[in-house]
Amino acid sequence: MSKTALVVGASGIVGSATAALLTDRNWTVHGLARRPTKQTGVQPVVADLQDPKGTADALSGIRADAVFLTTWLRQDSEADNIRVNSAMVRNLLDGLPQAAAPRHVALVTGLKHYLGPFEAYGRGTLPQTPFREQQARLDVENFYYAQEDELFAAAARDGFTWSVHRPHTVIGKAVGNAMNMGTTLAVYATLCRETGRPFTFPGSAAQWSGLTDMTDAGQLARHLLWAAETDAAHNNAFNVVNGDVFRWQWMWGRIAEWFGLEAVPFDGIVRPLEQQMADDAGAWRLIAQREGLVEPDLGRLASPWHTDADLGRPIEVVTDMSKSRRLGFTGYQPTDDAFFALFGQLRADSLIP
């Protein structure tokens, strides 16, 4: 018998990958978004999670066996992030119709659980790496903690099982996404190739030479489904990354090679993409017009601020996945292959030349 899923944030990087996997596994999939995009096999649900009544009305006919919460809204301060994003989780869980059978709710957060919010990103006293799930919360306000607390309270009230998933930077396709390193680097590399600018690493010495890892959206989707279907994984928080580690001094060369560029050796100077790409909107529009690309608006493809936050960290960031491995999750995805698959998809979809 087909199971029913509700994917919240179905138009985003993680949500779209999760919806695609579930439809491939013969689930009935409802995809909730403020502005749904057309997705094969996904039944769109239009709702704004900031509106409690509108959310409840939109969900009134959906009896989901599993709910995958993959969205958030960035605000100007962490206090506002907490207020808005905790309310979104609360409104969703309050608005779900009573389940006819046991239900599982999965929440996607991330490594800011260990690194702190953007206002204090990678600063102060941080846990040792590799990050492990049993490490205590930081003594700082963090909207991920507020989201978790809403999830835990609703689970205790309504009796559903839950899982929390903490990916590192996610590689995947989405247009208009606020945190999108893969597409940002693809656009940056394209601009460098087209304008003759050097392909210069924008980040810190620690990121250039230290070990790191990332999370492919497909790997995360498989992890979400695994946790929903595995009793031993219920009521647990998990890190989820690809399974390999790398140094950016190696990966930068791999990306450069894919785009036919020469990687410029890092000279120790941080050159943020937000500065490098500040005046590139016009150049991108001209490239898009010449090449017949479907998205001429640079701001809907690239999110330099987020890529700068990740690549500018002053510390090495690696993630332990032993907890998932011990419980039976064996998924693995080489990160360079994840980048290359994304770049190929962006080119096939006429988003880059």
What is the chain's mean pLDDT, rounded? 94
Length of the chain: 353
| Radius of gyration (C-alpha) of the chain in whole angstroms | 20
- Catalytic entry in 112, 114, 173, 188: 112
| DSSP sequence for 32-87 | EESS----TTEEEEE--TT-HHHHHHHHTT---SEEEE------SSHHHHHHHHHH
Cβ neighbors of 146 (< 8 A, separation 6 or more) are: 82, 85, 86
Better-scored residue on pLDDT, 265 or 124: 265
- Catalytic entry in 114, 144, 173, 188: 144
Active site residue 144: yes
Q: Is the pLDDT confidence value at 124 over 70?
A: no
Q: Is the pLDDT confidence value at 36 over 90?
A: no
Among 353, 54, 346, 309, residue whose Cα is nearest residue 192: 353
Q: How far is the C-alpha of 288 from the C-alpha of 298, rounded, in Å? A: 10
Question: C-alpha distances in angstroms, 157 versus 152, 153, 331?
Answer: 9, 6, 33
pLDDT tens profile 202-230? 999 999 999 999 999 999 999 999 999 99
Tell me the pLDDT band of 178, cut-offs 50, 70 and 90.
low
Among the ranges given (5-9, 96-100, 167-171, 259-263), the one the predictor scored with the smallest mean pLDDT: 96-100
The answer to whether the CB of 121 falls within 8 A of the CB of 315 is no
Q: How far is the C-alpha of 283 from the C-alpha of 297, rounded, in Å? A: 10
Tell me the pLDDT band of 157, cut-offs 50, 70 and 90.
very high
pLDDT at residue 131 in the model: 95
What's the rounded mean pLDDT across residues 173-191? 90
Please, where are the H alpha helices in 96-121?
Answer: 112-115
What's the rounded mean pLDDT across residues 24-38? 94
pLDDT at residue 179 in the model: 77
pLDDT tens profile 42-88? 999 999 999 999 999 999 999 999 999 999 999 999 999 999 999 99
Q: Is the pLDDT confidence value at 123 over 70?
A: no
pLDDT at residue 104 in the model: 97
Active site residue 188: no
Tell me the pLDDT band of 102, cut-offs 50, 70 and 90.
confident
Q: What percent of the chain has pLDDT over 70?
A: 97
